[in-house]
Amino acid sequence: MARRRPFQEDAENHERWLISYADFITLLFAFFVVMYAVSVVNVGKYTVLSEALGDAFGGHGAAQQRNFAVEVGALPLSGIVAHRRAEAAKRDRERLDLLARKLNDSLLPLIKNGKVRVTQNGRGVTIDINASVLFDEGQAALAGNARDTLAAVADVLKDDPHAIEVEGHTDTTPIANPAFPSNWELSAVRASTVVRLFAQNGVLEKRLAAVGRGANGPIASNDDPEGRARNRRVAVTILAGAPE
């Protein structure tokens, strides 16, 4: 009988790692191609995708995808974000316009008497209330019908989402007494008094801030009594940029 040759193992292939390496490079290339493809919103891509999904799932949702693609167009993602921000800013301006009209209606008698002024600019809506409506001279406790006036303002503001900054302003006449060593303290305490009343009438405390400006924010000359009277005021600013 012929003798059988002893079993010989195949020589080990030391280059098998190249196959795995080539697969990895191919997958990595495909990944970057996909990332580039989705980085730009394109009408054609969304149309093809929507039709494919519609065919796969019985035609549902294809029309919605197509409408979205037509609306967005070929805008990059940064363009979509800018568009949404512009729309949000437009809605915010409309809310502030409505708020300013409500405040004008609520404070109309005082506006006609020149004691209150409602203005609007890029910062928001500002209500300038003459200090004589709210406080006795040199005092920070609310006087007369001040609570009713501020309660009417709070009623308009309590359901609004905007932040509110209350600033106290004085004229340049020095003040020095045990309660208020300077106009800084007087203006700050007056602002805090208004903020506290707003909070008591339903305005969320986290929306409120009190700031004392002293005599550093005049709206008229301090050289005559009329100008100094105008400068003694509390400014309530409803800040633009409400959270969506």
| Domain 88-239, CATH among 3.30.1330.60, 3.40.91.50, 3.90.550.10, 3.30.465.10 | 3.30.1330.60
Neighbours of 142 (CB within 10 A): 20
Binned at pLDDT 50, 70 and 90, residue 69 comes out as very low
Averaged pLDDT for residues 33-43: 66
Higher pLDDT, 224 or 51: 224
Q: Is the pTM of this model over 0.85?
A: no
CA atoms within 13 A on the CB side of 176: 1
Q: What is the pLDDT of residue 68?
A: 46
Judge whether residue 58 has pLDDT over 70: no
The yes-or-no verdict on residue 173 having pLDDT over 70 is yes
Give strand pairing partners of 235. 128, 167
How do the domains of the chain map onto residue ranges? 17-74, 88-239
pLDDT value at 48 more than 80: no
Please check the confidence at residue 51 and state whether its pLDDT lies above 80: no
CA dist 34 and 99 (Å) reads: 48
Q: Do residues 160 and 99 lie in contact, with contact meaning Cβ atoms separated by under 8 Å?
A: yes
Start-to-end C-alpha separation, the chain:
94
Q: Which residues contact 164 (CB under 8 A, 6 or more apart)?
A: 157, 198, 203, 207, 208, 209, 236, 237, 238, 239
Q: How confident is the model at residue 36 (pLDDT cuts 50, 70, 90)?
A: confident
Q: What is the pLDDT of residue 143?
A: 93
